Structure 1
Amino acid sequence: MVRNFLKIIIITSLLLLTSCERLIESSTILAGNQKFKSGDYQGSIIDYLTGLDSQTNRDYFYYNLGNVYSSLGESPSAFAVWNMANGDSNSSLKFSLLYNKGYLEFQEGNYELAYNHFKQALLLMPSSIKAKINLELSLNKMSAATYNQAPDSVKNSGDIGATDETKRILEYVRQKEAMTWGLNYQEEELENDW
């Protein structure tokens, strides 16, 4: 009985200390996210547009609204809304913005722009495997496009320009990661061996 009373006092005091505006913003984001996940894109757009009046979470509302437009196949609208989101105050949000822009650019066939977005995203979060994979895919598409547009004399010589340097760096990173993963696996194997 006393424990329940203490829980109620603690919860009530926490609610009183937080502003009602933040609770409303958080509930609007959660409601919009839930509608987006369930496929109610119009409902999520309404929630996100309602939340744009917010001063503290405006970037999150822009980010989520851009995701809805991207899912609907409205690329120009998605880019326009994502560009309104600053994201400078939150590196995780900035990474997500850059990653999503890169992904959409890749889908549109703009491989160089996608490469640049993934590269900037990796500068913020170098451990992202998804961004590394997409960076490499963008690079491969750029190399293939450069190779296909090159004159036959260049194709026969095998010289496709500056992308060889980047490929060599990516191959080096891939080998280093494989060595690290191999060492971790061998250590686990030895520990479990006895």
Structure 2
Amino acid sequence: MEKKIGCLLVFLFLVFMSGCTPAKPALKILSGALASNRQDFDMAVMKFLTAEHEALIGDNPSVWEYAEYGLVSVYLIQNEYEAAQNRLEGILDASSPDIRSGAWYHFGIIAYRRGEYQEAASYFRKALENKPDSIDAKINLELSLQNTKDETVESTGQTRVFHGSTDEEHKNRTIFDLIRKKEQDRWKNQKDTADNSSIADY
């Protein structure tokens, strides 16, 4: 989740530094990202939809892409996979490689959560094609491939040979969940830090 909001904030910084005209929808994207951070998802969706509309009217496709990406992030937080997929399809050919990589990555996350490990692996590969240094995509690709192997063994009725490493295999299976929890904890810590700094101001 931090990756998504960070991507949005970098974009906004570039918009303001370049003096471009899409500042108004960019501010809406920032507001949507902050609302999402506060878990005010209705407000976040409203801000992203408004930014998307203004970007379309102003013929600013790059701003529109970031508004779409913001909507995807909110839908995924709420486990609204179908809504997220519909939005993701619109940004697979985005101008930004970060957005393209993020779109394929999120397709992979959805497939993984549904237990479609082979499909998830193909999505994570596409994410890496657009952004080869994505650690999250590499980790999730490995997890997907591991689960695909497990499914193959189960479907053929073969007995899997364990070399006393059942604990390690269990750890590998939970890496994905730990990454998700880590992202949630980062958001909580950022919120707590913001709350503490506002108290200190008084």
State the TM-score, normalized to the length of structure 1: 0.66
Please say if 1:45 is aligned against 2:49. no
What residue in structure 2 maps to residue 176 of structure 1? none
* Map of 1:131 onto structure 2: 137
1:18, distance to aligned residue in structure 2 (A): 3.5
Report the identity percentage.
25
1:98 counterpart (97, 100, 104) = 104
Q: Give ranges in structure 2 of 5+ residues lacking alignment.
A: 1-15, 162-202
In structure 2, C-alpha distance between the alignment counterparts of 1:110 and 1:30, rounded to whole Å: 34
Aligned length: 139
Dislocated runs of 4+, deviation >6 Å? none
Q: Is 1:69 aligned to 2:70, yes or no?
A: no
Which residue is 2:19 aligned to? Answer: 18
Runs (5+) with no aligned partner, structure 1:
1-14, 159-194
> Which whole-Å deviations, capped at 9, do the CAs of 1:35-82 have from their partners, x for residues lacking one?
001100000000011111213211111111011111111111110111
List per-residue Cα deviations over 1:103-160 (Å, max 9, x = no partner): 121112111121011001111222222211110100011111111011x4xx2699xx
What is the RMSD computed on CA atoms of the aligned residues?
A: 2.0
Q: Tell me, in whole angstroms, the C-alpha distance in 2 between the residues paired with 1:28 and 1:40.
A: 14
Shift in alpha-carbon separation, 1:157–1:46, aligned structure 2, 3 A: closer
Contact 1:36 1:44 in 2 (8 A): yes
Q: Does structure 1 retain, via aligned residues, the 8 Å contact 2:51–2:64?
A: yes
User: 1:143: which partner in 2?
Assistant: 149
For the pair shown, the structure with the greater C-alpha radius of gyration is 1
Compare 141-150 and 78-87 and name the one that shifted more. Answer: 78-87
TM-score computed with the length of structure 2 as normaliser: 0.64
Higher relative contact order (CA 8 A, sep 6+): 2
1:105/1:156 Cα in 2 relative to 1: closer, same or farther (>3 Å)? closer
One-letter amino acid matched to 1:117 = Y
What residue number does 2:176 align with?
A: none
> In the alignment, residue 121 of structure 2 is paired with which amino acid?
Y
- For 2:149 and 2:19, the matched residues in 1 are separated by 53
